[in-house]
Amino acid sequence: MTDTDAFALPPWQTTREGELRRVGIELEMNGLELDEIARLTADFLGCEVKKTSRYERSLTGDPAGEWIVELDFTLLKKMGREQRVASDLGDEIKSGAEDVIKWFADGLVPHELVSPPLPMDRLGEVDRLIAHLREAGAKGTGDRVTNAFGMQFNPEVPACEARTITAYLKAFLCLFDWLNTRADINMTRRLTSYVDPFPGAYVKKLVQADYWPDMDGLIDDYLEANPTRNRALDMLPLFRHIDEQRVLAKVGDERIKSRPTFHYRLPDCLIDQPGWGVHVAWNDWLEVERLAADEERLEACCKAYEHYLEKSVGRLLHNWEDEVQQKWLSAEK
- pLDDT band, residue 255 (cuts 50/70/90): confident
- pLDDT band, residue 197 (cuts 50/70/90): confident
Q: Read off the pLDDT of each residue in 238-267 and give the average, rounded to a whole number.
A: 93
- Which pLDDT belongs to residue 2? 39
Q: Read off the pLDDT of each residue in 174-178 and give the average, rounded to a whole number.
A: 95
Of the two residues 156 and 254, the one the predictor is more confident about is 156
pLDDT digits (tens, 9 = 90+) for 53-102: 887 999 999 999 999 999 864 534 454 445 544 544 444 444 444 454 45
pLDDT digits (tens, 9 = 90+) for 2-26: 344 468 999 999 999 999 999 999 9
**Lowest mean pLDDT segment, chosen from 151-160, 244-253, 287-296:** 244-253
Question: Contact 8/124 with Cβ under 8 angstroms?
Answer: no
- Which pLDDT belongs to residue 315? 58
Residue 36 phi/psi, 5-degree rounding, is -65, -45
- pLDDT band, residue 191 (cuts 50/70/90): very low
- Helix 295-310 / helix 162-183 crossing angle, nearest 10 deg: 60
- Which pLDDT belongs to residue 168? 98
Q: Read off the pLDDT of each residue in 203-209 and give the average, rounded to a whole number.
A: 97
**Lowest mean pLDDT segment, chosen from 198-207, 213-222, 248-257, 296-305:** 248-257
- Which pLDDT belongs to residue 153? 93
Q: Read off the pLDDT of each residue in 147-163 and give the average, rounded to a whole number.
A: 91
Q: Residue 216: pLDDT above 90?
A: yes
- Which pLDDT belongs to residue 275? 93
- Which pLDDT belongs to residue 109? 73
**Lowest mean pLDDT segment, chosen from 104-113, 130-139, 222-231, 254-263:** 104-113
- Which pLDDT belongs to residue 282? 96
pLDDT digits (tens, 9 = 90+) for 98-124: 454 454 555 557 889 999 999 999 999
Of the two residues 1 and 229, the one the predictor is more confident about is 229
- State pTM to two decimals: 0.86
Q: What is the mean pLDDT of the chain?
A: 85
- Which pLDDT belongs to residue 195? 63
Q: Residue 146: pLDDT above 60?
A: no
pLDDT digits (tens, 9 = 90+) for 262-280: 999 999 999 999 999 999 9
- Which pLDDT belongs to residue 88? 44
